[in-house]
Structure 1
């Protein structure tokens, strides 16, 4: 079972939500420094995908439906893969430096592992009949 932390509203949320929230805050700051023409194109897409993932993680943590939770997590995983390619475009376009790109890759890898672990834990619970 995942450990949970409380958000400002008092609901218990898994640590991945806070981890991704911190990544979003960092990412929004970086996108704000993109050239103006890219800030509203690629930058906007990057921000939207990152925030979509955050919303999906919160939704998954608050959803009681097993099938619904798994579907949401798979969707978040797909969005994360899209985000990886967008960040690569930002690096190749020199909108972020290589150190920022490596930091983003590390965070996305960690978040991806956490999503994957959450999905696998759901499968284990479903097979064993344990309810969370």
Structure 2
């Protein structure tokens, strides 16, 4: 996750600069990819579904930043919110493939290079945060 673990305390982790977080970096790259992808959508989809994907990806990045600055015991609910927003984003990505806005190859690229990795990082961070709050 980009945190340094204290040898004796599983929840004492040094907060890294946000740009050092792998989740931040991967989310930022996803936003850049979406801007390149969405510009090729037909006009109607560019300003509806495409813009929704861009907006949700920005929300995810904003939530990563917000969660990172919270005290460890308070991160859980912010990361849970991040997970929910990311789930919405995944639905829109799937829709773009199902209605033919992106190819199967583009969809596979998104899944392999971004979605799976980001999902795993969010899940790991959420599990860590749950342990830190004693739940």
The TM-score by the shorter chain falls in which range? Answer: 0.7 to 0.9
Task: Report matched runs for 1:16-35 at 5 Å.
Answer: 16-35=23-42
CA deviations on 1:19-77 (whole Å, 9 max, x unpaired) are 1101111111101111111100101111111110010011111122623x211111111
Per chain length, whose mean CA-contact separation is higher, i.e. which structure has more relative contact order (CA < 8 Å, sep 6+)? 2
Contact 1:20 1:111 (C-alpha < 8 Å) held by counterparts: yes
Partner SS, residue 41 of structure 1: helix
Contact 1:90 1:96 (C-alpha < 8 Å) held by counterparts: yes
Contact 1:56 1:72 (C-alpha < 8 Å) held by counterparts: yes
Unaligned runs of 5+ in 2: 4-15
- What is the TM-score of this pair, normalised by structure 2? 0.81
Give the Cα separation in 2 of the matches to 1:47 and 1:21. 11
**Coordinate RMSD, CA, aligned:** 1.6
Partner SS, residue 95 of structure 1: coil
Partner SS, residue 54 of structure 2: helix
Unaligned runs of 5+ in 1: 5-10, 128-132
